[in-house]
Structure 1
Amino acid sequence: MSTLELSTVTVPAASMGPANPLPPLRRLRDFHAGLEAGVADAEMAANLEYGHVTSLLPYTLQDGYDRERLDTPLRVAVLDNGILRAEVLLDLGGRLYSLRHLPSGRELLHRNPILQPANLGLRNAWFAGGIEWNIGTIGHTPLGCTPVHAARIDRPDGTPVLRMWEFERLRELVYSVELWLPDGSPVLYAHVRVVNPNQEDAPLYWWTNIAVPETANTRIVTPADSAYHFTYDNVLHRIRVPVAGGIDETYPGRRGPAADFFYDLGDHGRPYIAALDADGAGFVQTSTAGLRGRKLFRWGTSIGGRNWQEWLSGPGAGYLEVQASPARTQLEHLRMPAGATWSWVEAFGLLACDPADVHGRWAGTRAAVGEALDALAPAEALDAALALATAQADEAPGRLLHRGTGWGALQRRLREHHGDRSLRFTGTPFGDDTIGRDQQSWVRLIDSGYLPTPAPELPPASYTVGPAWRELLEKAAAGASGNWFSWLHVGVSRYHAGDTPAARAAWTRSLGAQVNAWALRNLAVLDLLGGDLMAAAERLLSAHRMAPRLRALTVETLEVLIIAGRPGDALSTVDRLDQEQRWHGRIRLLECHAALDFGDLARAKRLLDDGIVVDDLREGEDALDTLWWTYHEKRAAAGIGPLDPAARVRIRREHPLPCLYDYRMHETG
């Protein structure tokens, strides 16, 4: 009998900490910049150029976590039919945390033994493991570390269905994921539905990202003869599958640097991807025709790749990712028409084949796996599941199980203020009862045209952007209720709209109404972007004196002081910090950098010898290895002047990078 229950799992987890209250004004990384994609056909080339996002707003960064892991109970929804047991993290993006095959006792996913956030997500915080539902833009979803709405509905035969849904604020799309385990089913079904409620086309980015255990004999099987290969050289290559350059790339755990492989499924039959072990068994994912893309990501076998896996999952818990998408590569956005609804069904389960077939010649491997998949999860069953899920998609939820964020409800109220009912959904409702503290001020702005004003020493809690919000904010600021806080938010709205001079004017008016650290900081970002490093440094120093305990502001201040060539001021700022900030890894890294620039090699040596652990080290960030070799080069150059290239090579040979500092994503550093 299939069941759906609420429970908890206890996991050693680091606290997410407070959200960063500073609006993320710096441009998002452009993954297309400098991309060489000559192998792309016309359709892919158009998708590569479409849908670029430059700002993370209205989201804020989630960078308040640390590395102190404590046993933490996490709320989960549990589906069980006696064959499979699925655990879903309701407070963390609806992540499918575990999928266990009960007869064998085998865990099919990488069930992470810890929960350690790291700087791999769009909003910074991301954690490894399970199956995540990526929507938004290139990168891990902004909703991966936030709660989702969840409810139970029932199929006509009584099978319980877990329905989860949320509102994605970058694209203003509504998405839902339904999970169910029919009686006797060897696969877990997932119905994904994305709705564009807008009057304009919207860029869609979706990847179902699945972490599975990795061994040296894990083979990735998918119906493809070629793939698009993307590495850190920013070039999209087209390679043969399985062997390219004399290496069988379908065994990702054997050798090679970190890399992405986007498989070209073409017309090779039903889409699927499997990760099968030495015994020919393992995880398989398949879908209806709506998901045409399949991907493999490997961390690689370099020291840096192994360190990243240990950072995210602890010792001995290596994993790789297999993924599925409506697009062929993760560098694309698809054009979703106004008012459109796209949906598909996926299935996940344990697939077993003769190991001789799995690890034999590619054509035979694909044939054997395809035959086993047809027996495990027939394509007709997925098509029927999609038809039934589509028919029930607008059915009102039965028992509400969990509450997500209030942003969908807030946006619904804003639209209804203008007579637009496009966010009223019966199947995935955004009710007023979901509105929380972060949305209350904005409800007041909608209802009364007034934005409640906190004390200036308190940082803003949230932001809204877009034409409708800007109109309300401009009216509030220009009217009798205009104050420093209204002008602060007007500036953010103008900046998001691309009107930088008008944003500067708004933040200047905010300062004129009431001196506050938040307008000073935002103006400093504009100074920095405009190349006026000294003005940026002075404004940040002033802002930091007003809010010295806000770590995010401390980090920005130190970064700009160093860039502006003022390492002495950076060190003096560090010396005045409270102990909690002094010992934070990112601040210790900046202190070491400033010490090297200032010529205080003894201070830099103490920091490096003690060990610098940067909680929010970014994927691909070279700060630690650069710091290590900069110190040794400066020490060697003391008294003799600049080093020639041969001397730099010798120093790197004599002072190899310690494992502690090696997070390089490619073998050559």
Structure 2
Amino acid sequence: MGPDNPLPPLSPLDEVHRIDDRERDDMPRDMARQLGLDPLHSLLPERVRDGYGRTREPMSLDALVIENDRLRATVLPGLGGRVASLVHLPTGRELLYRNPVFQPAGFALNGAWYSGGIEWNIGATGHTALSCAPLHAALVPAPDGGQMLRLWEWERLRDLPFQVDLWLPDGSDFLFVGVRVRNPHERPVPTYWWSNTAVPEDVRVLAPAEEAWHFGYERRLRRVPVPAHDGIDRTYPLDSPHPADWFYEVPDGRRRWIAAPAADGRGLVQTSTDVLRGRKLFVWGHGPGGRRWQDWLTEPGTGGYCEVQAGLARTQLEHVRLEPESEVSWLEAYGPLDTPREGEWSEVVRTAEERLAAVLPRRRVEEAYAAWKPYADTEPGERLATGSGWGALEVLRADWKLPGTPFPESTLGEDQAPWAELLRTGCLPEPRRVRPPHPTLVAPHWRDMLETAPATPHTEYHLGVAQWHAGDRAQAVRSWERALPLAPSQWPLLRCLGVADQESGHLERAADRYAEAFEDLCRERRDDGETWTAAVAALGRETLQALLRARRTADARAVWERLLPAVRRRGRFRLLEAELLLAEGRRAEALAVLGPDLEVADLREGEDVLGRLWARLTDEPLPARHDFRMRPDTP
């Protein structure tokens, strides 16, 4: 994974799943309300994860395997608790898309995400910030007398603990998954959940719906018929030309399920209790942008994938209100289904529903949920993996009782240590050695503690970040400016002030702040180790961007020359080099940078920076290797 970006993400969240407000006028009232329910505007207190590359080599991953005589599930506790494989043992058939590589890419809310398997998305619209993070894992008694695998963690964007319990009853063809999200706060919290399953894309996706809400990365959400739209049967993933989401409108009272049979009729089905309302198909399509993304995220020549998903709301652009001191829970089931996929839509769906009822009656899913609920509070037994210490810090602060999901003080680590001391003493400790600042906590209770702590430069820095997150930008700037004269390390404060200047349109002053910050960091850095290199690279990147916006080409060139050669070779920095060369009038050299060996490892979903830069340099068509366009109208 490499090191996280040490700079607090102060800029607005770059999330492609947004729609124009006027689109809500013709939507159901509850849907329109949930579309506007406190969407996420900031990534804080998370950090951006962009330290990975694209050099591939053999590696080992810790895996937990649960199996009965019918199924084998392989879970990766260190990578979001993802179910990487689900094999039907009697046939030897893999029911999921099992990615042959672990390749991080810029799709999660905080950056790093990878494709394949079943992932658990909590937090806000998008792939969870826990996509590539470790979860706690342990064994727990199961309702049938066997054992469950429990995964749990503290989701920091919404400050909510959650758990995922997986078990395989003897003789069952279905993996049961009990999920619970709790709100321990005395205030309501917007909640989001989508279970995302990757399956091979040479399938037909079936769901009990005649309509869907279509999102095509054009800031529009439209109700369209199912299965055909614009003359194309969209239930065949490879028939769609462009990447798109199809959120199925499953009628009230209808059983919730989604299936993906291959040409021989065999494939995966997912079903759940009714709380998990939404069902979705995501396709990459057969266009050049979607195919390029498939190769980028997987291994060329190994076959692509689509995603079948299930969530708390109709669409992933919505959030659901979770009342104070309450919880929401449900049960999911994953297993094989043999059903014909060709024919008239309503008949194909009816047959699939009948076959699902035969192998897993709706009543059995409800009974399994009722049987699981009393076990959700059972304390874990043997610990199999350890997640973060953030949950332990929150439990220490509020003395919350969360049966079934313990967050012991023993899990507190280096990142939590300063905040635990603030909690105990009322003072945020000064760093014991010169280093980039530790992560900032921004929730109201931590901000209140920072406001009453002694006003050291270190405390003022973190207070300013928390105030910025709360929307009090003028006060944040005052906190950073107040700290600047006495701060032994000035570059973190100068960088924050540079961001504030950029957001307010003062580009020249922002460039000055950034240039001064970069100079101060270069003086302060102690070595070329991972931590300092990550700091210089992150600040160098933002400084180059600020100087280029202000048209200060010579200053940008001076910053470029001070970066380590290994940093300058990274794809994102080669893009900046091309922009710098273009600003210097060296168009041919800039175009040469965009050669066949250019790979921007942290390219984000929906980001068209390569296409825009190519169009500025030449009238030639965009090469296929650089075509990551998600929308048909992108230049």
Superimposed CA distance per residue, residues 578-605 of structure 1 (whole angstroms, 9 cap, x where no aligned partner): 1111101101101101211221123213
* Cα distance in 2 for residues equivalent to 1:112 and 1:235: 31
Aligned partner of 2:499 among 525, 537, 562: 525
> Per the alignment, in what secondary structure is the counterpart of residue 609 of structure 1?
coil
* Cα distance in 2 for residues equivalent to 1:156 and 1:389: 6
Aligned partners of 1:456 and 1:516 also within 8 Å: no
Aligned partner of 1:88 among 75, 80, 90: 75
Matched, 1:430 2:404: no
Aligned partner of 1:485 among 458, 470, 478: 458
> Per the alignment, in what secondary structure is the counterpart of residue 44 of structure 2?
coil
How far residue 29 of structure 1 moved from its aligned partner, in angstroms, is 3.5
Determine the structure 1 residue equivalent to 2:530: none
User: Letter of the aligned partner of 2:246 in structure 1?
Assistant: F
Superimposed CA distance per residue, residues 234-289 of structure 1 (whole angstroms, 9 cap, x where no aligned partner): 11111111112221111111232111000000136211000111111101100011
Determine the structure 2 residue equivalent to 1:623: 609
Determine the structure 1 residue equivalent to 2:580: 594
Determine the structure 2 residue equivalent to 1:646: none
* Cα distance in 1 for residues equivalent to 2:631 and 2:466: 39
Matched, 1:470 2:447: yes
User: Letter of the aligned partner of 2:625 in structure 1?
Assistant: L
Matched, 1:387 2:360: no
For 1:46-65, list aligned pairs within 5 A: 46-65=33-52
* Cα distance in 2 for residues equivalent to 1:104 and 1:630: 54
Determine the structure 1 residue equivalent to 2:429: 452
Listed as ranges, the gaps of 5+ residues in structure 2 are 523-532
Change (3 A) 1:302 1:492: same
Matched, 1:150 2:137: yes
How far residue 213 of structure 1 moved from its aligned partner, in angstroms, is 0.8
Determine the structure 1 residue equivalent to 2:121: 134
> Per the alignment, in what secondary structure is the counterpart of residue 473 of structure 1?
helix
Change (3 A) 1:244 1:564: same
Aligned partners of 1:570 and 1:591 also within 8 Å: no
* Cα distance in 1 for residues equivalent to 2:141 and 2:443: 38
Matched, 1:256 2:233: no
Determine the structure 2 residue equivalent to 1:443: 420
* Cα distance in 1 for residues equivalent to 2:146 and 2:237: 38
Change (3 A) 1:668 1:171: closer
* Cα distance in 1 for residues equivalent to 2:30 and 2:588: 57
Matched, 1:117 2:104: yes
Aligned partners of 2:596 and 2:625 also within 8 Å: no
Determine the structure 1 residue equivalent to 2:476: 503
* Cα distance in 2 for residues equivalent to 1:210 and 1:406: 28
* Cα distance in 1 for residues equivalent to 2:8 and 2:327: 32
Matched, 1:396 2:379: yes
How far residue 561 of structure 1 moved from its aligned partner, in angstroms, is 1.2
Determine the structure 1 residue equivalent to 2:621: 656
* Cα distance in 2 for residues equivalent to 1:594 and 1:177: 48
Aligned partners of 2:537 and 2:563 also within 8 Å: no
> Per the alignment, in what secondary structure is the counterpart of residue 373 of structure 2?
helix
User: Letter of the aligned partner of 1:477 in structure 2?
Assistant: P
> Per the alignment, in what secondary structure is the counterpart of residue 37 of structure 1?
helix
Aligned partners of 1:457 and 1:516 also within 8 Å: no
Aligned partners of 2:443 and 2:466 also within 8 Å: yes
Matched, 1:350 2:325: no
Determine the structure 1 residue equivalent to 2:259: 274
How far residue 25 of structure 1 moved from its aligned partner, in angstroms, is 0.4
User: Letter of the aligned partner of 1:24 in structure 2?
Assistant: P
Determine the structure 1 residue equivalent to 2:528: none
> Per the alignment, in what secondary structure is the counterpart of residue 167 of structure 1?
strand
How far residue 610 of structure 1 moved from its aligned partner, in angstroms, is 5.8
> Per the alignment, in what secondary structure is the counterpart of residue 526 of structure 1?
helix
* Cα distance in 2 for residues equivalent to 1:40 and 1:255: 25
Aligned partners of 2:44 and 2:469 also within 8 Å: yes
More contact order relative to length (CA 8 Å, sep ≥ 6) = 2
Q: CA RMSD in A?
A: 1.5
Listed as ranges, the gaps of 5+ residues in structure 1 are 1-15, 416-420, 633-650
User: Letter of the aligned partner of 1:399 in structure 2?
Assistant: E
User: Letter of the aligned partner of 1:503 in structure 2?
Assistant: A
Matched, 1:323 2:309: yes
Aligned partners of 1:32 and 1:48 also within 8 Å: no
Aligned partners of 1:192 and 1:345 also within 8 Å: yes
Determine the structure 1 residue equivalent to 2:486: 513
Aligned partners of 2:143 and 2:371 also within 8 Å: no
- TM-score (ref. length: structure 2): 0.95
Determine the structure 2 residue equivalent to 1:247: 232
Determine the structure 2 residue equivalent to 1:578: 564
Superimposed CA distance per residue, residues 25-54 of structure 1 (whole angstroms, 9 cap, x where no aligned partner): 011146445252343111111111112221
User: Letter of the aligned partner of 1:600 in structure 2?
Assistant: R
* Cα distance in 2 for residues equivalent to 1:29 and 1:119: 11
> Per the alignment, in what secondary structure is the counterpart of residue 317 of structure 2?
coil
* Cα distance in 1 for residues equivalent to 2:179 and 2:103: 27
> Per the alignment, in what secondary structure is the counterpart of residue 233 of structure 1?
coil
For 1:79-228, list aligned pairs within 5 A: 79-215=66-202, 218-228=203-213
Matched, 1:335 2:346: no
* Cα distance in 2 for residues equivalent to 1:34 and 1:267: 27
- TM-score (ref. length: structure 1): 0.90
* Cα distance in 2 for residues equivalent to 1:201 and 1:89: 32
Question: Which deviates more from structure 2 when the two are superposed, residues 142-151 or residues 546-555?
Answer: 546-555
Aligned partners of 1:150 and 1:403 also within 8 Å: yes
Superimposed CA distance per residue, residues 269-323 of structure 1 (whole angstroms, 9 cap, x where no aligned partner): 2110001111111011000111111000011111110110111111133000010
Determine the structure 2 residue equivalent to 1:286: 271
Determine the structure 2 residue equivalent to 1:539: 513
* Cα distance in 2 for residues equivalent to 1:494 and 1:542: 23
* Cα distance in 2 for residues equivalent to 1:344 and 1:450: 42
* Cα distance in 1 for residues equivalent to 2:142 and 2:98: 29
How far residue 535 of structure 1 moved from its aligned partner, in angstroms, is 1.2
User: Letter of the aligned partner of 2:177 in structure 1?
Assistant: A
4+ residue segments displaced more than 6 Å: none
Determine the structure 1 residue equivalent to 2:529: none
Superimposed CA distance per residue, residues 576-635 of structure 1 (whole angstroms, 9 cap, x where no aligned partner): 321111101101101101211221123213312364211111111111112122112xxx
Question: Which deviates more from structure 2 when the two are superposed, residues 565-574 or residues 311-320?
Answer: 565-574
Kindly tell me the number of residue pairs found equivalent between the two proteins: 618
